[in-house]
Amino acid sequence: MKNIQYQSLFILILSILVSFSNQVQAEPVGQSPETTNRVIVRGGTIVDVRTGSLQSNATIVMENDRIVDVSGAEYLPEANETVIDATGQYILPGLIDAHVHYEDFAPELFLNHGLTTVLDLGNDYAWIKATSEAIEEGWIPGPRLYYSTPHFDASPPDGSPLLAQRGHKHYVDTVAEAWEAMTEYLAQGISAVKIYEKLGPDVLSTITRMADRANIPVIGHYLDAQTTIATSGTGIEHLYAIVRSAQDEETAQIIRELNEQRPGSLGIGIVASVDWDMVPSVIDELIEHNIYLNPTLMIYRSVPYFKNKGFQYEDFELLFNDWRLRYIPLQFRLHILKEYQEQGV
């Protein structure tokens, strides 16, 4: 991504040190600005992502929030230095997740899984901006947090419940509105523009031209691959645009008619209409125009599974006793369980 500092991928850094460094950026009472905090990590094996090689028995010297030396030499720490013994451990670069929806419990979750840089692509704009700035200033811990604009989309019909989603959405229907919105957000230092499929081509092109001049990417839920190419988009999130570009139109029409006959149901997904023989050519066209595809990973279980006898007990076991969810607050888990029960699954 253009303005996002991907060079951080290649800085050898322990996720455990990121948490430490964020804490030492804020200046404690009574500590002078000249105070140097040094951390020595020794004995581990560095994974060099540039060469694909391993450097065993390595020593990493860190001062405040910067790595100042990486070597295989023995190091005798001084009395005031913190030493971490990484013998038997692998030291990886900080990982990047380029599509997250940040939560207030996310810092511990991300840092403890080695993610030191994330890009938020949809949140309450005022909150995510403030959170990013607080992390940058060292007031709260967290990964390096980049964020996009709110979701740019065309206005929904009058009376639509989507009109209430002002924290996540910014509706733009004309070129003038697009120019005004982009001017506002660019001045605030956004790192990406998030778009949705209902935007018109003239509006999309205006957004893209302004983003290009600012050297930031335009990514999101494009209508299809052809629209992405025609409006010079940077990247496609999820696979919806690919599916729409490789549809068997006759099958797609049948699915639309069936779904209209079953209002309120989950319906039949558009993926059922894909002509898989068309997909390689769609991907090749994106590559030709230097447009990336981030398919993301979403896992759903089928409705029949949820309706099996005993589902609620399995769900309870997952939400409350699975150790992999230890960073997810209880209140958040209860909210998920309540949603399932209200939907009758």
Q: Residue 294 pLDDT more than 70?
A: yes
CATH class of 1-28+37-144: mainly beta
Q: What is the pLDDT of residue 334?
A: 79
Residue 62 phi/psi, 5-degree rounding, is -125, 130
pTM exceeds 0.95, yes or no: no
Kindly state the average pLDDT of the residues 269-276: 78
Give the CATH fold of the 145-294 domain. Rossmann fold (3.40.50)
Q: Which two tokens stand for residue 141?
A: 């811990």
Q: Residue 20 pLDDT more than 90?
A: no
Kindly state the average pLDDT of the residues 232-238: 94
Q: Residue 71 pLDDT more than 80?
A: yes
Banded model confidence at residue 309, pLDDT cuts 50, 70, 90 = very low
Percentage of residues in the chain having pLDDT higher than 70: 77
Beta carbons within 10 angstroms of residue 41's beta carbon: 26
Banded model confidence at residue 274, pLDDT cuts 50, 70, 90 = confident
Instruction: Give 3 or 172, the one with higher predicted confidence.
Output: 172
Q: What mean pLDDT value characterizes the chain? A: 81
Which of 160, 192, 190, 185 is CA-nearest to residue 170? 185
Q: What is the CA radius of gyration of the chain?
A: 24
Rounded-to-integer distance, Cα 285 and Cα 41, Å:
46
Q: Residue 303 pLDDT more than 50?
A: no
Instruction: Give 124 or 306, the one with higher predicted confidence.
Output: 124
Q: What is the pLDDT of residues 85-97, one digit of tens each?
A: 999 999 988 999 9
Q: Residue 298 pLDDT more than 70?
A: no
Q: Which two tokens stand for residue 96?
A: 């990047």
Q: Residue 237 pLDDT more than 70?
A: yes
Rounded-to-integer distance, Cα 25 and Cα 87, Å:
27
Percentage of residues in the chain having pLDDT higher than 90: 48
In contact, 129 and 120? CB cutoff 8 Å: no
Q: What is the pLDDT of residue 311?
A: 54
Q: What is the pLDDT of residue 205?
A: 95
Kindly state the average pLDDT of the residues 107-131: 93
Opening angle at CA 39, ends 36 and 44, nearest 5: 160
Q: Residue 100 pLDDT more than 70?
A: yes
Q: What is the pLDDT of residues 30-59, one digit of tens each?
A: 445 567 788 999 999 999 888 889 999 999
In contact, 145 and 132? CB cutoff 8 Å: yes
Amino acid at 197: E
Q: What is the pLDDT of residue 9?
A: 33
Instruction: Give 303 or 243, the one with higher predicted confidence.
Output: 243
Kindly state the average pLDDT of the residues 271-282: 87
Q: Where are the domains of the chain?
A: 1-28+37-144, 145-294, 303-343
Instruction: Give 106 or 3, the one with higher predicted confidence.
Output: 106
Question: For the chain, how many residues are written?
Answer: 345
Banded model confidence at residue 258, pLDDT cuts 50, 70, 90 = confident
